Amino acid sequence: MTAYPATVLAKARTIRLLVLDVDGVLTDGRLYYLTGGGEAKAFNTQDGAALKMLMGTGIATAIITGRRSDVVDRRARELGIAHVQQGVDDKAEGLRVLQAQSGLDASVMAHMGDDVPDLPLFRRVAVAFSVPGAHPVVTARADYVTRATAGMGAVAEVCHLIMTAQGTWNDALARIDR
Ligand SMILES: [Mg+2]
């Protein structure tokens, strides 16, 4: 199993809420425009399973995305992601709303993002996660860049990292593998 840097594990130990960007984090960043209107996105089942495991350990999750898409609401509902904000131009403002909604301070949150609009969140949360192929400015500021790529298990890797840091992984796995 993957070994993570001790510095990142130490930072992730007190995280209570994981904030996720959508395009380029939960997906590979490509937007499928369908003939006749509508839009499609490809989400990853391993990311979904890992998010459910993480939430099962008492960690909350949230989505803050700049775009707006019905499929994001559907995916969030399916996974039980409680806090969803779409069409957010200013993610710092999105974070203020999330703090009010969740009753949690940014100091107990982690954010996973891939592009420049994610930087205000990186500035404010306790741990910043990014993905291979993210904007170089973003990867430079991340505490940890996943080995898995976006839309291909990167979110699952971060979930595993947080559970490993908090010592909840073995119990979470045992609840499934029995
Ligand atoms: Mg993005």
| Residues 160, 175: Cα–Cα separation, whole Å | 15
Average pLDDT (82-106) is: 97
Could you tell me the residue range of the domain that residue 45 belongs to?
11-171
4 in any annotated domain: no
Is a pLDDT exceeding 70 seen at residue 6?
Answer: yes
Considering the domain boundaries, does residue 52 fall inside one? yes
The percentage of residues in the chain with a pLDDT greater than 70, rounded to a whole number, is 99
Return the CATH number at 155. 3.40.50.1000
C-alpha 113 – ligand 1 centre gap (Å): 6
- Residue 63 within any structural domain of the chain: yes
The answer to the question of residue 3 being in a domain is no
Q: How much distance in Å is there from the Cα of 115 to the middle of ligand 1?
A: 5
**Centre of ligand 1 from the C-alpha of residue 72, in Å:** 13
**Rounded (5°) CA angle 61-64-68:** 125
State the distance from the centre of ligand 1 to the C-alpha of 175, rounded, in angstroms.
Answer: 32
Domains of the chain: total: 1
CB 131 within 8 A of CB 142: no
* Residue 1, domain member (yes or no): no
State residue 1's pLDDT score. Answer: 60
What does the pLDDT average to over 56-69?
A: 98
Query: For residue 127, is it within any domain?
Result: yes
Question: Alpha helix locations (H) across 6-153?
Answer: 6-12, 45-56, 70-79, 91-102, 119-124, 136-141
Residue 120 maps to a domain: yes
Mean per-residue pLDDT over the chain, rounded: 97
Tell whether 5 is covered by a domain. Answer: no
pLDDT tier for residue 177 given thresholds of 50, 70 and 90: very high
Each residue's pLDDT tens digit, 8-38: 999 999 999 999 999 999 999 999 999 999 9
- Compute, in angstroms, the gap from residue 118 CA to the centroid of ligand 1: 7
Q: What is the pLDDT of residue 2?
A: 64
Distance 114 CA to ligand 1 centre (A): 5
